[in-house]
Structure formats: C-alpha cells, structure tokens
Amino acid sequence: MDALDLARWQFGVTTVYHFLFVPLTIGLGVFVAGLQTAWYRTGKAHYLSLTKFFGKLFLINFAMGVVTGIVQEFQFGMNWSEYSTFVGDVFGAPLALEALLAFFLESTFLGLWIFGWDRLPKRIHLAAIWAAVIGSNLSAYFILAANAWMKHPVGYEVVNGRARMNDLWAVLTNSTALAQIPHVVAAAFVVAGGFVLAVSGYRILRERGVGLTGRPVTGAGSAIDGDTTVPLRRRTDMWRTSLRGALVMTALAGVVVAGTGDLSGQLLREQQPMKLAAAEGLTRDTDGAPFSLVPGVEVPGMLSLLAAHDPGATVQGVDDIQRRYEQQFGPADYTPNLPVVFWSFRVMIGFGMATVGLSVLGLWLTRKRRGRAGGRRTRNLGGTGAGSAGVGNGAAPPVPSWFARACVLALPLPTAAIIAGWLLSEIGRQPWTVQGELLTAASVSPGVSLTEVAISLSVFTVLYGVLALAEAVLMVRHVKAGPEQPPATPDHAIAAADPDAVRRTPTLMY
Amino acid sequence: MTTFWFIVIAFLWTGYFVLEGFDFGVGALLPLLSRSEADRRQVIGTIGPVWDGNEVWVITAIGAMFAAFPAWYSGLLSTFYLPMFLIVVGLIVRGVGLEWRGKVRSGAERALCDAGIVTGSVLTAFLWGAVFGNLLYDTALATVLGGLLSLSVAILHGAVFVTLKTSGPVRARARNAALAAAAVAVPVGIIALPSVPGSAMDVPSWSTSPWLWACALLAMAALTAGVALVWRRREGWAFTATASSIGLTTAALFGALWPAPLPGLTLAEAASAPYTLTMLTWIGLIALPGVLAYQAWTYWVFRKRLTADISAH
C-alpha cells in the first residue's frame, strides 16, 4: 500500500460519490423546469404543487452535487500533480470553460429561482430555472469532453514532456466525447426518471392507503398530509401526471442511451480495444467474437455484430493486446481489473435496460384507451418534458398498485447502472490516465505522503457517509410528508384578476 | 499573453475574496448576530441567493490556473495538500449547512447546519490567508498572521455587509461586530505591513516595486477608513472601503507572486502554449461580461434590506 493506491481509492470514492448526485441534478432539474413550464402555460395548480415538491427534492440533492464537485476541481492538483502538469494545457481548458460558462449560470440562476418566487415576474422566474438547468447540462458537456480526451486524446502534440493543445475544436468535438456526452446525459435522465417514478409510485400507494406490501396502512392517505380539501382522486391524478411525465422521459432517454451506447461500443473497438476486450472477457483476438451474457452463456458473433456491425469482424483479445502494448510501450501490465470491468458492463446494461423496460411497460399500462390521446401525447413529448399527459380526452386508467410498487422497488436500478457504467469507463481505462500517453502510476503527486492521503481519504469517507445518510433522511421525510398545501383557488384565476396580487409563500427558501 | 492571464487569474481571486469574503464573515458571525431563529434567517438571508454564485469565482480562478498555468495549479495544490484538503472540507460543510438548514425539521438539526456554516466559514477564511501567508514568507508567524488577517477582515467585511442589508437589532449587532473585528484586523494588518519587503520568494519586486508598497499601504488605509465609516454609520461607503481593502490586498499578494508564483517556478515555465491562452482569451472576453452582468443583476434583484418578518427572502 503506497500513496498511489490511496490516491486512486480517494479519487474513486470521491468521484463515484459525486456521480451519485450529479445525474439526478441534471435530469431532475429539467423535469422540474418542465413542470414549471406546464404550470406557466396552463395555470393548473397541481403543476405548481409538483414543481415545488420535486423542486425541493432537487435542491436537497443539488447541494450535494455542488459541494462534492468542488473536491474534484482541487483534487487533480492535490493528488495528481504530474498528471495535471502534463495535461493542463489541454484538459484545463474545458474545466475553465465549465466554470465560466456553466457553473456561474447554474449557481447564479438557481439562487434567483430559489429566492425569486415572489420577486421576479413569472416568466423571468421560469427563465431562471431553465438557465440553471442549461448550466448543469453544459457542465456535463465540458467535463465529459475533458474526460473523453483522457480515453482518446486528440488535438494536441507532446512538447517537452507536456501535452500542448493545437486544436480546441478537435478537443470539444472528439468522437469519443460526442458519443459519451449524450450517453451519460441521457442516462442521467433515466436516473431522474427512475427517481420520479419511485417517488410518484410511493405517493400513489400512500394516498390509496396501501403500503408497499399491498396491505392497507392505517392513518395514511390524504388526511395525514394535512390536506382535506382536495379529493383523494384528484391527488392521485397529480401523481399520475408526474409518473406519466417520468415514464415518457425515461423511455425517450432510454432510446438515446441505447443508440449512443452502441456508438460508444464501436468507438471502443477502434480507440480502446483493451476496455472492450476486458468488458467481454475476450482473451484472444477473435473473428466473429461471441457476446457472453454471463460467463458460460454466449451468443455467437454477437460481440462482433455489436462492436463492428458485422458478425464476422475481428475483435481484439486481452492477451494479444497486452502483447502488442508491451512491444509498443515497453514491458508492463496493461490489463485493467478484468472482473470489475466485466461485471460493471453487465450491471450497466441489465439494470439500465430494466429501468427503461419498466418505463415502456408503464406507458402501455397507463395509455389512454380511447380518443385522440395518442396524437396529444406525441405532441407533448418534445415540449415540456412533463407534458400534459393524463389530461387528455381519453379515458385515463388508474395506475395499477402493483406497478406503483414496482416503481418504488426499482429505485436503485438506474443509479446502480450509471455507477457501473462509470466504473466500466474509468477502471477499463487503466492503467492509463491518458490512453497511450501517461500511466496512472506516473500521474500521482510525488510530494504528497501516504499519511496525508490516508488522512484525507478517511475524513472524506466518514464525512461523505454521514452526508449521504443525512441526504437520504431529508429526502425520505420530504417524500413522506408530501407537497405543501396547494392554493385553494387555481392560480391562473388570481393571476387573471390581478397579476400583482399573486403573493405565494416561497416554499423553497432557506 | 502570460502576463495577461496572470492578471486575469489575479482578478478572479480578487473577485472571490471580495465576494466570498463577506459570505465567510456572515457565516462566521451567524451565532453572534442572532438571538432567535428569525434573526438567524435574516442573517443567512443576506447571502442566501448569492453565496453559491460567489463560490464559483474560486472554481473559475482555480480552473483558469489549471488551464493557463498547469504547473502553478498542480504545484500550489499539492504543496499545500492538507490545508487545501481542509479548505475543501470547510466548503463542503458550509455549503451543505446553508442549503439544508431550511429543509431540516427540528431545532437540533438546524443547529447542526449552523455549526457547519460557522465552522466551514471560519476554517476556510482562516486557511486562505494562512496558505498565502505561508507561501510568501514560509514562516509559522506569517502563516498565523495571514490567517488571522484574512479571517478578521472577512468578519469585518461580512459584518458591514449585514449592516447594509438588514434592519433592526441584527443591524445594530452587526455594527458592533464590525467594530470588534476591526479591533483585530487593524492591528494585525499593522504588524503584517512591515514584513512586506521580507518575502521568502526572494523576488526583488517586493523591495523595488513601489506600487506593491502602495497597494499594501492603500489596503491598510481603506481598512482603517472602512472602520471609521462604520463608526459614522455610512454603511454603503464602509462596504466599498472594506471591499477595496480586500481587493488591494489581493493585488499586493499577486504582485508579490509575479513573476514567480511558487518558489523555483516562473510563470513563463508554468504557462500553457500561446494557442491555448489565445483561445481561452477569446472565449473569456465574450463570456465574462455576460457573467458579470447577470451576477450584478442578482444583487440588484435582492437589493432590499431584510427585516425580521420577511427575512425568509
């Protein structure tokens, strides 16, 4: 055990932890902005209730994403000074742009949104949340472009032992980045979709007075939420709206994830053959390589078909790549941790597809059986995200309780999938920090001692554990409590009477 | 181009210390200015909408260092490993405390959030001064003095900000706190001032550049003027003075770091290639005015003084 190992553990722990919160921020932010847009356009009170309810969950989570992100910005320099000095010329640019173009936008406008409920005109206030979520998504673009460069360095030359950028455009439009960014961002929408499904499912069950087990829960229901004015059925409809919105979001994002995942797979074959071979446990260069679902169960030619769109294509194997790398770069171990890469690939695909499958099933179960519902639904997809699904002319069947229960139980799946994808991507990159240019072992800060890293790693681990627990408690409590009292009169009625008279109590304050 | 980017980075750090300076001060003073939950919400409310945007200044400053001077970035952060680690921890507990205190239920939980805000603010404000004091002079005394100076000036700056943004008893308490903080900040500044020429950086600029002396002296003058203006209840001008004092101190600091930001490393050696700097310059020139405009607009939107009853905003 030396400082390098601990520095790697620290990077792994802090980055994976950061990545627990960030996808939810990215996807849920857009979902909340969509809900608020629906409220702005229709004036329907339940959209406002949903906006505030999910807005608060978004903010609880947002805090964690921000503070754990600061660690990353410092950590490259603190623990990986050799890496930072080598790549700063190229890698630093997207990070600086991320802060300048994305983080300022995100944090400033989120502050305006939180505190601006009764300070800003409705239209500007809506624009503030959109500006903030655009900032979040832009930040994903820049950091993933920087990350893609580590796997497939482009637009640079090495001068005096340091990478020098000679084409910023090439860095920002790296083929690896263009496949990876929509893949990760869409996966973030699946994570957020799965989250909203679980929350909505829980609320539906609770307001029907049945628990997760299906037995009646005494004392639960709408009365416990301190809201006896709204009939039970309407409240359940509200959760149906958010559930439907999340189903649409998850299913659409799932299509993007699958498409870009396929693209990433093909790029892997050309750019990072070792990662592909490790993900498949393929030891030798193989023509018409099979795809192993689990060890022992293989689909012939499937890997070649997936990776090259040609069932007969050659896919390189771990041992042969190792031999070629030794010839090219000198003797060393160029093989990543095979079991971790192999299994994270399967967890990513299995759990991810399960979530998307659940959403497709849900769309079918909650489809409108009559009327022009289909046409309406399609039109709503591109608009607000949340859309006004469930408000159409067709008969809207109630969400089956067993499906609501499945949504709650599926909560961990998309997060596990996206974390597994991250592990596949980053552990599969080892032993390189910059593919073909810089080894992880040569990247670490030479002047930072084992003790120093041990201190920071243990404090981060304990602090992060406590904070995760606190966040979970805050979220569960908020979900159990349900939305705060919706306005007795529909908002648009007040707004129409006197726009200046609308003075809502901000629920999203400090 | 190298010099230009050094100035850009100095500007970003200046923005950070001026803006986050009062956030730290407000956070550190939270328990001292409040007698009730309404008071606390009033105090926190002064920075509520803006602190996160202010914090992005340091993210941008460090990101710009990474991009423009990779060896400076990595050298500074890895040399000061444990202080930087503690700064990050401070920013975490403070950020989470600020975001969560309105979302917890019981008074005990809120007190825990407040503890995070206070600890994070005090720790981080002290450490930034300590790191730069140590970097310049490499002595324990300079480290402690630097930390005390940055902490006490941040508290003064934050107290003045609260007097500017609140009314009622909180405002009166903030005025007293400002005067108390000045009783530490001014003497520490006076002790630190004569050490200006003795930098461990072994850079002749300290003793030869009169404008560094001018910055340091003006910073002290602005600090003293700020205290006098608090005394005379000219809060807007007092805030301008403390902000100028922090700005001038940062200018003197970065003046001392030019042209060698770390011992044994010159900016020319640390710099990225001209191509990178040119690209960043164009993007920065296009984006920065917009950023400054919308941040300024935020302060305009939330310009009103907070009273105890509408302190939630």
Tell me the count of A-B CB pairs closer than 8 A. Answer: 239
Question: What's the domain count of chain A?
Answer: 1
Q: What does the pLDDT read at residue A148?
A: 92
Q: Is residue A297 part of a domain?
A: no
Which pLDDT belongs to residue A504?
A: 39
Secondary structure of chain A: what % helix, strand, coil (to 5)? 70, 5, 25
Tell me, yes or no, whether A311 lies in a domain. no
Cβ neighbours of residue B195 closer than 8 Å, sequence gap 6 or more: B137, B142, B145
Residue A278: inside a domain, yes or no?
yes
Question: Domain residues of chain B, as ranges?
Answer: 22-188
Distances B177 to B25, B125, B185 between C-alpha atoms, Å:
10, 17, 12
User: Which residues of B are less than 8 Å from A87 in CB distance?
Assistant: 70
Helices (H) and strands (E) in chain A, counts: 17, 8
Taking all residues of chain B, what is their mean pLDDT, rounded to a whole number? 86
pLDDT of residue A509: 42
Predicted pLDDT at A385? 37
pLDDT for position B202: 52
Q: Strand runs (DSSP E) across B56-183, as ranges?
A: none
Answer with the residue of higher pLDDT: B268 or A489. B268
CB of B300 less than 8 A from some CB of A: no
Interface of A with B in 319-338 (CB under 8 A): none
Residue A298 belongs to some domain of the structure? no
Q: Which among B49, B56, B65 has the least Cβ separation from residue A114?
A: B49
What's the gap between Cα B235 and its chain centre? 19
Interface test with A, best of B73, B119, B311 (most A CBs within 10 A): B73
Whether A470 has its CB under 8 Å from any CB of chain B: the answer is: yes
Would you state the torsion angle of the CA atoms of residues A66, A69, A73, A78, taken in this order, to the nearest 10 degrees? 120
- Sign, CA dihedral B201-B206-B209-B211, equals positive
Compute the distance between CA of residue A226 and CA of residue B47 in angstroms, rounded to an integer. 33
A102 has a chain B CB within 8 A of its CB: no
Distances (CA, A) of A433 to A81, A448, B62: 12, 18, 21
CB-CB contact of B17 with B250 (8 Å) = yes
Cβ pair B74:A95 closer than 8 A? no
pLDDT for residue A378: 40
CB contact at 8 A, A72 and A14:
yes
Helix axes A122-151, A3-42, angle to 10 degrees: 150
pLDDT of residue A26: 93
> Nearest CB to A85: which of B71, B93, B298?
B71
Residue of B nearest to A466 (CA): B93
Structure tokens given for B249? 């101190």
Residue in A108, A142, A157, A466 to test binding to B, most B beta-carbons within 10 Å: A108
A151/B53 Cα distance (integer angstroms): 32
pLDDT digit string (tens) for chain A, length 510 residues: 788 889 889 998 999 999 989 999 999 999 999 999 988 888 888 888 889 899 989 998 998 988 998 998 999 999 999 899 899 889 988 889 898 888 888 988 998 898 888 888 889 989 999 999 999 999 999 999 999 999 999 988 888 888 888 888 988 899 888 999 999 999 999 999 999 999 998 888 888 777 666 565 554 443 444 444 444 455 668 888 888 888 989 989 888 988 888 888 888 888 888 888 888 888 888 887 888 877 777 888 788 888 888 877 888 888 888 888 888 888 888 888 888 988 898 899 889 888 888 888 888 888 776 554 444 444 443 333 333 444 444 456 788 888 888 888 888 999 999 999 999 989 888 889 888 888 888 888 888 888 988 999 999 999 999 999 999 999 998 888 888 765 544 444 444 444 343 333 344 443
- The answer to whether the beta carbons of residues A129 and A32 sit under 8 Å apart is yes
* Nearest-by-CA chain A residue for B270: A85
Q: Which of B8, B5, B22, B9 is nearest to B235 (CA)?
A: B22
* The two structure tokens encoding residue B92: 């975490």
Tokens representing A56 are 């608060």
- B184: contact with A, CB 8 A cutoff: no
Cis peptide before A94 (omega within 30 of 0): no
- Report the share of chain B in percent with pLDDT over 90: 31
CA distance A276 to chain B (A): 31
Cβ of residue A112 closer than 8 Å to a chain B Cβ: yes
Instruction: Judge: B56–A107 Cβ closer than 8 Å, yes or no.
Output: yes
| From A64, A78, A99, residue closest to B85, measured CB to CB | A78
Q: Which residues pair with A299 in a beta bridge?
A: A291
Residue A1, token pair as written in the block:
């055990």
Which residues lie across from A291 on neighbouring strands? A299
Parent domain of A486: 7-282+317-501
Instruction: Please indicate if any CB of chain A lies within 8 Å of the CB of B74.
Output: yes
Contact B276, A163 (CB under 8 A): no
